[in-house]
């Protein structure tokens, strides 16, 4: 499939939804980190990232979107990203033809040691960053942390302008931190746990401090902090098996001291992650006592009846549970678990344990108690899902029906087919009508579950009512309406296109209008599209750029 032929390969419904992302300018950023590899940000119900790989002829080699779509299919975010990339390729020279670059590994393997040294020496003389990279690889164990801190700070400080690091300078400011993390990973793989931990702590401390005077809206600092913590845990876990007692003490002291730093403030997730890393090497009575003492101190410092208590206390208690799971008996773990069932994290652990044991009565009892006072919808759904799991495993059809119907009325569109399968064909008709009546009684016509039911059952009359209330959605729904309501579909398209045209003031937006007209032509025919084009040219004859774009349609 070529980048400019996507309309022939993506289904109409998905293509229409993708076009609405283009029209509403929800494709935010196009980047090309590698040749022919594009990373595109699309704003939807959440922000999603689409990866697209092209070949030299702009054929699509691979696509991937991090939304929860079905693997192997094109979602609306991918469709929008492909359209935006097509426009980008037409409007810029950035996507021109590239000559194939030789493979770096192949070239390096072909060089002699002498040629390699000459190449490295020349690169180090010309590029200071290369020199720093080479020298840092030769740092001794005694000054590894100091050299790493110096390297990280050099990159950060050179990007500070007027006491601030701008969005565009953040990636370069973090380059030194990336170098140090690569060293830490090598140390971890090589079993040099102490050095790996120290290098991770350097990156963590310097990047967290950098957040005070940097634009982190792109998310790069947070990603790097997460990577350093993950690597820190890997190193600590390795050290638990390999380190001598004196080395364990050194690593433990470093982790505990860093967790106590004021730089973390209310960033409890980072602080608790450091404390959790201590668990791997808290295998002596003295170290465990110090760790538990620090955790208890943190707990006492949290103001009662505050938002911190709601967020921080469960995280702290989970560390205490992990300590018991690592070093104590099953009885001690169970006792602590039951003492803290008021916290959702602990309740889930208990429910999972009972499900594995087949103690279904205990599962239902815990869920019912949780539902009695639960106000948060996402937690109510979780407890109901546990109950549904029990009913499915025990073959309780009636209770399955009741809970699946609750999910449907709550707006969850994942359970409709499962509910339908529980009824025979002869009884489904009456049940289905009652379901529709329930949506009507609750005035719930904008719920995802209601719309999914309309689509699955192709209820064109109800779909038309919905589109009349939400005219822009005709772009998504016209395939379900053109057969029964061609005139109404035509009127809705014209309404949307005219409203969009009225709000357009530059050539980029005029092109969006033209894309809508092309979709209109596909839905309602060429004659209707030509008539609308003539009307728009007459209405906006003074907007020469708009008229020019209209005349390009179908050329």
Question: Are 171 and 29 members of one domain?
Answer: no
What is the pLDDT, as a whole number, of residue 518? 94
Two tokens at 439? 């949506």
420 torsion bin: left (phi>0), alpha (psi -120 to 50), beta (else): alpha
Q: Please say if the pLDDT value at position 25 is more than 70.
A: yes
Distance between CA 184 and CA 230 in Å, rounded?
Answer: 11
Which has the minimum average pLDDT: 18-32, 281-295, 387-401, 420-434? 18-32
Q: For 178-224, write each residue's pLDDT tens digit.
A: 999 999 999 998 889 999 999 999 999 999 999 999 999 888 999 99
Q: Please say if the pLDDT value at position 98 is more than 50.
A: no
Q: Does the residue 383 lie in any domain?
A: no
Residue 217: other Cβ atoms inside 10 A? 9
Q: DSSP letter string over 68-110?
A: SPPTTS--HHHHHHHHHHHHHHHH-STTS--PPPPPHHHHHHH
**pLDDT grade for 90, boundaries at 50, 70 and 90:** low
**pLDDT grade for 549, boundaries at 50, 70 and 90:** very high
Question: Are 440 and 474 members of one domain?
Answer: no
Question: Are 207 and 238 members of one domain?
Answer: yes
Distance between CA 220 and CA 223 in Å, rounded?
Answer: 5
Contact 452, 492 (CB under 8 A): no
Q: Does the residue 517 lie in any domain?
A: yes
Contact 415, 404 (CB under 8 A): yes
Question: Are 132 and 234 members of one domain?
Answer: yes
Question: Are 34 and 152 members of one domain?
Answer: no
**pLDDT grade for 424, boundaries at 50, 70 and 90:** very high
Question: Are 441 and 477 members of one domain?
Answer: no
Q: Please say if the pLDDT value at position 271 is more than 80.
A: yes
Residue 50 CB contacts under 8 Å (≥ 6 apart), including other chains: 39, 40, 41, 42, 63, 64, 65, 66, 77, 78, 81
Q: Please say if the pLDDT value at position 131 is more than 80.
A: no
**pLDDT grade for 93, boundaries at 50, 70 and 90:** very low
Q: Does the residue 249 lie in any domain?
A: yes
Two tokens at 220? 């790069």
Q: Does the residue 207 lie in any domain?
A: yes
Which has the minimum average pLDDT: 129-143, 298-312, 348-362? 129-143
325, 341, 357: which is the final residue of a domain?
Answer: 341
What is the pLDDT, as a whole number, of residue 110? 76
Q: For 405-418, write each residue's pLDDT tens digit.
A: 999 999 988 899 99
Distance between CA 174 and CA 155 in Å, rounded?
Answer: 7
Contact 148, 183 (CB under 8 A): yes
The verdict on pTM exceeding 0.75 is no
Q: Does the residue 156 lie in any domain?
A: yes
Query: Based on the structure, what is the number of domains in the chain?
Result: 4
Which H or E run includes 28? strand 27-34
Question: Are 450 and 498 members of one domain?
Answer: no
Q: For 246-265, write each residue's pLDDT tens digit.
A: 999 999 999 999 999 999 98
Q: Does the residue 107 lie in any domain?
A: no
CA nearest to 15, candidates 525, 523, 550, 450: 523
Q: Does the residue 469 lie in any domain?
A: yes
Residue 502: other Cβ atoms inside 10 A? 11
Question: Are 177 and 260 members of one domain?
Answer: yes
Distance between CA 518 and CA 537 in Å, rounded?
Answer: 16
Rounded to an integer, the average pLDDT of 115-120 is 78
**pLDDT grade for 113, boundaries at 50, 70 and 90:** confident
Q: Does the residue 372 lie in any domain?
A: no
Rounded to an integer, the average pLDDT of 313-340 is 93
Q: Please say if the pLDDT value at position 430 is more than 50.
A: yes
Question: Are 317 and 433 members of one domain?
Answer: no
299, 314, 341: which is the final residue of a domain?
Answer: 341
Taking all residues of the chain, what is their mean pLDDT, rounded to a whole number? 88
**pLDDT grade for 305, boundaries at 50, 70 and 90:** confident
Question: Are 449 and 424 members of one domain?
Answer: yes
DSSP label of 191 = T
Structural domain span for residue 156: 120-341
**For the chain, what percent of residues have pLDDT higher than 70?**
92
**pLDDT grade for 68, boundaries at 50, 70 and 90:** low
DSSP label of 41 = E
Question: Are 54 and 145 members of one domain?
Answer: no
Two tokens at 119? 């190449």
Q: What is the radius of gyration, based on Cα positions, of the chain? A: 30
Question: Are 469 and 450 members of one domain?
Answer: no
437, 457, 477: which is the final residue of a domain?
Answer: 457
Q: For 487-509, write each residue's pLDDT tens digit.
A: 999 999 999 999 999 999 999 99
Q: Please say if the pLDDT value at position 33 is more than 80.
A: no
């Amino acid at each position: 499939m070529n980048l400019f032929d996507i309309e022939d390969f993506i289904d109409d419904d998905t293509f229409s939804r993708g076009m609405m992302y283009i029209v509403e300018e929800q494709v935010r950023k196009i980047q090309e980190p590698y040749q022919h590899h594009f990373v595109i940000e699309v704003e939807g119900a959440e922000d999603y990232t689409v990866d697209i790989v092209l070949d030299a002829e702009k054929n699509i080699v691979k696509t991937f979107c991090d939304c929860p779509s079905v693997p192997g299919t094109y979602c609306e975010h991918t469709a929008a990203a492909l359209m935006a990339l097509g426009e980008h390729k037409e409007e810029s020279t950035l996507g021109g033809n590239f000559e194939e670059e030789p493979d770096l590994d192949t070239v390096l393997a072909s060089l002699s040691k002498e040629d390699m040294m000459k190449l490295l020496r020349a690169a180090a003389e010309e590029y200071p960053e290369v020199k720093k990279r080479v020298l840092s690889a030769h740092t001794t164990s005694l000054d590894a942390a100091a050299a790493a801190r110096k390297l990280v700070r050099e990159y950060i400080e050179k990007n500070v302008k007027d006491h601030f690091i701008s969005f565009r300078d953040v990636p370069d400011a973090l380059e030194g931190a990336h170098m140090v993390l690569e060293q830490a990973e090598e140390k971890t793989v090589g079993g040099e746990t102490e050095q790996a931990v120290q290098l991770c702590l350097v990156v963590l401390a310097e990047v967290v401090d950098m957040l005070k005077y940097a634009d982190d809206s792109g998310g790069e600092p947070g990603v790097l902090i997460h990577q350093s913590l993950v690597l820190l845990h890997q190193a600590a876990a390795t050290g638990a098996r390999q380190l001598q007692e004196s080395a364990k003490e050194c690593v433990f002291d470093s982790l505990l001291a860093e967790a106590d730093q004021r730089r973390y403030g209310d960033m409890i997730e980072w602080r608790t992650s450091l404390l959790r890393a201590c668990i791997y090497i808290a295998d002596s009575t003295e170290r465990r006592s110090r760790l538990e003492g620090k955790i208890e101190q943190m707990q006492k410092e949290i103001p009662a009846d505050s938002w911190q208590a709601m967020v921080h206390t469960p995280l702290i208690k989970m560390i205490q549970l992990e300590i018991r799971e690592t070093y104590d008996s099953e009885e001690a773990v169970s006792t602590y678990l039951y003492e803290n069932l008021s916290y959702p994290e602990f309740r889930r652990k208990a429910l999972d344990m009972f499900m594995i044991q087949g103690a279904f009565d205990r599962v239902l009892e815990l869920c019912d108690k949780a539902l009695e006072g639960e106000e948060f919808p996402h937690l109510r759904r979780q407890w109901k899902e546990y109950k549904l799991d029990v009913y499915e495993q025990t073959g309780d059809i009636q209770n399955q029906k009741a809970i699946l119907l609750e999910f449907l009325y709550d707006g969850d569109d994942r359970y409709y087919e499962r509910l339908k399968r529980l009824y025979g064909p002869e009884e489904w008709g009456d049940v289905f009508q009652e379901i529709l009546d329930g949506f009507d009684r609750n005035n719930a016509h904008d719920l995802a579950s209601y719309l999914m039911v309309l689509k699955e059952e192709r209820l064109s009359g109800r779909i038309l009512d919905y589109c009349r209330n939400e005219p822009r959605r005709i772009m998504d729904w016209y395939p379900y309406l053109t057969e029964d309501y061609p005139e109404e579909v035509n009127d809705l398209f014209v309404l949307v296109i005219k409203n969009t045209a009225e709000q357009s003031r530059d050539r980029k937006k005029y092109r969006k209008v033209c894309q809508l007209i092309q979709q209109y032509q596909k839905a309602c025919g060429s004659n209707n599209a030509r008539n609308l084009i003539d009307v728009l040219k007459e209405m906006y004859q003074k907007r020469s750029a708009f008229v020019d774009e209209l005349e390009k349609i179908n050329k």
